[in-house]
Amino acid sequence: MLINDGIITLEELKKALPPEERYGKGPVAIIECLQDIPCDPCVSACPVKAIKMKEGITDRPILDFDKCTGCGLCIPKCPGLAIFVVQKNIAPGKASISMSHELLPIPLKDQMVTLLDRAGKTVGEGKVLRVINPPAYDKTAVVTVEVPEEKVMDVRAIRVNAGGQP
Amino acid sequence: MSRNTEVFVIGGGPAGLSAAIVAAELGAQTLLVDDSAKLGGQLIKQTHRFFGSSNRDAGIRGISIADKLCEDVKNLKDRLCVLENTAAVGFYSNNEAGILSQNAYERVSYQRAIVCTGATENSLAFENNDLPGVYGAGGVQTLMNVHGIRPGQKILMIGSGNIGLIVSYQLIQAGVDVVGLVEGLPTIGGYLVHASKIRRLGVPIYTSHTILSALGETQVEGATLCQVDDRFRPIPNTEFDVECDCICLAVGLTPLIDLFQQAKCRMVHIGELGGLVPLHDSSMKTTNPEIFVAGDASGIEEATTAILGGRIAGARAYESLYGSNDKVEQIVAEAKEELKTLRSGSTGERIRWGRERVLQEVGAC
Amino acid sequence: MTSLRIEAHPVLEFEKKKKVRFFFEGKEFEGFEGEPIAAALHAAGVKMLRRSPHKNRARGFFCAIGRCSSCIMEVDGEINTMTCITPLKEGMQVKMQKGHGEIKP
């Protein structure tokens, strides 16, 4: 359980997930923010206004999956680093996941990195597809990695073992 | 030597900076003293992005918020005098206070004082808790994020409030191995997104656990942990050791209140606010009508609410000297609205309760 | 063992300061000018800064902001110096003070 060990169970995650058919329409954000905390930068980060709070800023964000384009601009703005963008079926059996990465080294495109699940356990290796780290992101890089499709709901962090940008 | 000022602000953290900025902006001659070498209080150690409303600094790193406030201070230098490395050491009668810098003692004559002294870190009772290598979370942040030195190679964190969770993440960013986070309660105290952030980087979170002792002779070499029952009593035969070279305590803060007591402000003990705090009304005025309070000294909360409380105190202190105007009312109304929003919801429950009690106690006296 | 000094950080940049020599218990050490004495000692691996006067317990720094007095040492002959907030200078003589220390005339 999230509240006991910091690990979101798939059951708890359900309310943040898009309907299965949404994945067929391209990348989509998953906001793993399940607690009513006073925070709202994701709302103004979304260029298509797909993120809303029910009432005040202490509600949890609700994403309109139809409006979401999966652009990922909300990812680096989340102080909780809780937003991920998932794209399924990028190649047979392959999906991609984009996430914030605020640790050194920052990986390079095409580099192989260790994939970690929500408990920090190694679930395999994946190739870095994209690294976005412009000044506007203020040192929160957004890294997209290729993962086996069946692992895309498990992988939530990476470990860069060597190389990369210092 | 002595100095004269209309508004005297003690403490250059988020609350004090904001109070001084508002008082000076409105037109009061203001003096700000801070006992450290660099203004910003705890903000200068906060590398993480802040929560809160994007109308006020949410999504921005604490260090950038400090820079912004310091920039405002610089732009007001005609009316706002700043003394760094200077501690306020006491209040006298006749609206006088003593300040002490490296080698000089001076008196300050003020009309209103806004005391924003912040808080001190709590310790925790366990065997060997005085060993070198047992540090406060603020101390760890200072060493690591201000001076660029890691507290150790392997650290054990005690406390799962936001400070424990956030500092654990900062330690990982600095290249320290966080070997575990210990929490006596069965549930995590801080925001769960912060907990998930360190958990997925491999930090075990031991809820319903406590630290029994630090191991080592002249410095920390490990710690013994054990499980606790629902009344925080250690459960026999659940002890285990972890290897670490430092232990970080993030077990809460206590308001720093000596100056209020000296100024004969009435105090009240409110556990939800961290202990003894000076009684104050919604204008942040204490029971001594010349003394205002803001920030953690008025009740332990966090930097954004400290900024807002400071703005209210600055505006009301000015008002008490020069009378009100539209700008004063606007600053106060905006800050109050933002505070209400930030404190709403389930995570703000304790604070709401504590703040309500302060107002009730003020009403009763 | 890797150094405790942070060489690269994902968010922060640390200003490079001038290297200075100082002495701890007569032994020569290196640190950076202006950083707190306790920080320089910590980076050099010195964690015990004194022993408590009554029970002879090891003491290191705790708060790092000049509040708790855990880090007091004798610096250039002056006892009870809070080393966590006292800037390091070239040639400083830093010593563990004995007991409560001795105020020199």
Domain ranges of chain B: 2-120+253-364, 123-249
**Residues of chain B found within 8 Å of residue C4, distances taken between Cβ atoms:** 149-153
The Cα–Cα gap between B240 and B182 comes to 13
**What is the CATH topology of the domain spanning B2-120+253-364?**
FAD/NAD(P)-binding domain (3.50.50)
B254 φ, ψ (degrees, to nearest 5): -125, 130
How much is the pLDDT for A165?
Answer: 61
Please answer yes or no on whether B200 and A2 come within 8 Å at the CB atom.
no
Could you say which of B121, B142, B148 has the minimum Cβ distance to residue C6? B148
Residue C105 has pLDDT above 80, yes or no: no
- DSSP letter (8 states) at residue B105: E
Q: B139 φ, ψ to 5°?
A: -65, -45
Predicted confidence at residue B53, as pLDDT, reads: 84
Chain B residue with minimum CA distance to C5? B149
| Among C67, C94, C40, C48, CA closest to B132 | C48
Does B148 contact C5 at a Cβ distance shorter than 8 Å?
Answer: yes
**Angle between helix B14-26 and helix B326-343 axes, rounded to 10 deg:** 160
Average pLDDT over residues A119-145: 97
State pLDDT tens for residues A25-47: 999 999 999 999 999 999 999 99
Report the CATH number of the C19-95 domain. 3.10.20.440
Q: How far apart are CA B95 and CA B72, in angstroms?
A: 27
Residue-level pLDDT at A166: 53
φ/ψ of residue B195, rounded to 5: -65, -45
Low-confidence ranges of chain B (pLDDT < 70): none
Taking the Cβ of residue B102 and every Cβ of chain C, the question of whether any pair is shorter than 8 Å is answered with no
C12 forms bridges with which residues in the sheet? Answer: none
The span from the CA of A95 to the CA of A149, in Å, is 5
Any idea what DSSP says for residue B114? E
Buried b (16+ CB within 10 A) or exposed e, B102-123: eeeeeebebbbbbbbbbbbbbe
- Please write the tens of the pLDDT for every residue from A74-115: 999 999 999 999 999 999 999 999 999 999 999 999 999 999
Give the containing element (helix H, strand E) for B155. strand B154-158
Q: Does A123 touch chain B (CB under 8 A)?
A: no
The nearest alpha carbon in chain A to B162 belongs to A80
- Mutation for testing the A interface, residue in B65, B173, B200 having most A CBs under 10 Å: B200
Residue B325 CA: distances (Å) to CA of A13, A27, A126, B111, B114: 50, 52, 62, 19, 20
Q: Which of C4, C12, C65 minimises the CB distance to B145? A: C12
Measured CA to CA in angstroms, residue B241 lies from A140, B156, B292 at distances of: 35, 11, 48
The complex's ipTM works out to 0.96
Contact assignment for B36 to C65 by CB distance below 8 Å = yes
Contacting subunits of C (3+ beta carbon pairs below 8 A): A, B
Q: What is the percent of chain C with per-residue pLDDT over 70, rounded to a whole number?
A: 99
State the nearest Cα–Cα gap between A12 and chain B, in angstroms. Answer: 13
B126 and B213 in contact (C-beta within 8 Å)? Answer: yes
Which helix (H) or strand (E) segment is A100 a member of? strand A94-101
Chain C residues whose CB is inside 8 A of the B121 CB are 63
Contact B132, C70 (CB under 8 A): no
Q: Which fold has domain A25-159?
A: Alpha-Beta Plaits (3.30.70)
Cβ–Cβ < 8 Å for B220, B134: yes
Question: Smallest CA–CA separation between B18 and chain A, in Å?
Answer: 21
In B, which residues are within 8 Å of A56 by CB distance? 341, 344-345
Q: Coil, strand or helix: which one is C20?
A: strand
- Inter-chain CB pairs, B–C, below 8 Å: 96
CB contact under 8 A, B139 and C64: yes
CA distance C1 to chain A (A): 18
What is the spatial distance between Cα B37 and Cα C33, in angstroms, rounded to a whole number?
15
Q: Does A105 touch chain B (CB under 8 A)?
A: no
Alpha-carbon distance A138 to nearest alpha carbon in chain C (angstroms) = 8
Domain ranges of chain A: 25-159
Contact B306, B295 (CB under 8 A): yes
pLDDT at C1 > cutoff 60 = no
Q: What was the pLDDT predicted at A4?
A: 94
CA angle B124, B228, B184 (to 5 degrees): 45
Tell whether C103 lies on the interface with A, counting CB pairs under 8 A.
no
CATH top-level class of B123-249: alpha beta
Q: Are A35 and B191 in contact (CB under 8 A)?
A: yes
* Shortest distance, CA A102 to any CA of chain C (angstroms): 6
**Chain C residues lying within 8 Å of A106, measured CB to CB:** 10
CA dihedral for B50, B56, B59, B60, sign (positive or negative): negative
Instruction: Give pLDDT tens digits for B235-264.
Output: 999 999 999 999 999 999 999 999 999 999
Q: Which of C52, C55, C100, C56 is nearest to C79 (CA)?
A: C100
Q: Are C75 and C104 contacting, i.e. CB atoms less than 8 angstroms apart?
A: no
User: Mean pLDDT score of chain A, rounded to an integer?
Assistant: 95
Task: Report the gap between the CA of A143 and the closest CA in chain C (Å).
Answer: 14
* Whole-structure pTM value: 0.96
For residue B331, the surrounding DSSP H or E stretch is: helix B326-343
Classify residue C79 as exposed, middle or buried by CB count within 10 Å of its CB (0-12, 13-18, 19+).
Answer: middle
Q: Which two tokens stand for residue A12?
A: 């708890």
Q: Which amino acid is located at C76 in the chain?
A: D
Total length of chain C: 105
